[in-house]
Amino acid sequence: MGTIDYRQQLLEEIESLSDRELEKIYKIVTLLRHEFLEEDDEARYYTDSWIQAEREATEAYQRGGLKAYDSVDEMMDALQGTNNQTISELEQVLTLINQLGATEKLLIRRHLERDWAEQFAALLDRIQARVPPDISEEEVYADVAKAIREVRADYGDTAGA
């Protein structure tokens, strides 16, 4: 029965990796070693990341956000139930969105993009600042009216063509 040279096998597998990929792997290995491998079985549960995870889980449990399970099967059943509930809630939201009219959708979008109005106002300020102040309102309105008449005349020509 032959023996497997794991070291040689590993060297062959990493031969095609770039320096950047090797550096990433090195960092991950170093991190893992620092966090877990260099500690004995008992000590690895006292690393900063483990203690933080344990503290967060305890706090979540105290808030009622986590439930204690008697078995892995019970936990998996609960997870599946939560998953089904989430899917059901998402479907209800999607149904509601599909029932909205165009106006409601627009209002929701504007509500979600509130800074859009601020950006538009800032753009308006920049454009207006570039217009020479000595041009009167009447001159502006006259120019605009003339441009619109030209465009509408073009449309009329196109429609008639």
Task: Please name which of 63, 67, 94 lies closest in space to residue 79, comparing C-alpha atoms.
Answer: 67
Interface with another protein includes 145 (CB under 8 A)?
yes
* Nearest approach, Cβ of residue 99 and another protein (Å): 17
The binder of another protein chosen from 1, 37, 131, 159 (CB under 8 A): 131
d(CA 124, CA 9): 65
Binding range to another protein, per CB under 8 A, among 11-19, 42-50, 82-90, 106-114: 106-114
* Structure token digits, residue 18: 């770039």
**148 is a site residue for another protein (CB under 8 A):** yes
| Residue 38 binds another protein, judged by CB under 8 A | no
Let me know if 16 is exposed, middle or buried by CB neighbors in 10 A (0-12, 13-18, 19+): exposed
Q: What is the DSSP string of 95-115?
A: HHHHH--HHHHHHHHHHHTTH
Q: Which residue type is seen at 157? A: D
Smallest separation, CB 124 to another protein (Å): 7
Please report, as ranges, the residues that interact with another protein according to CB under 8 A.
103, 106-107, 110, 117, 120-121, 124-125, 127-129, 131, 135, 137, 140-141, 143-148, 150-152, 154-155
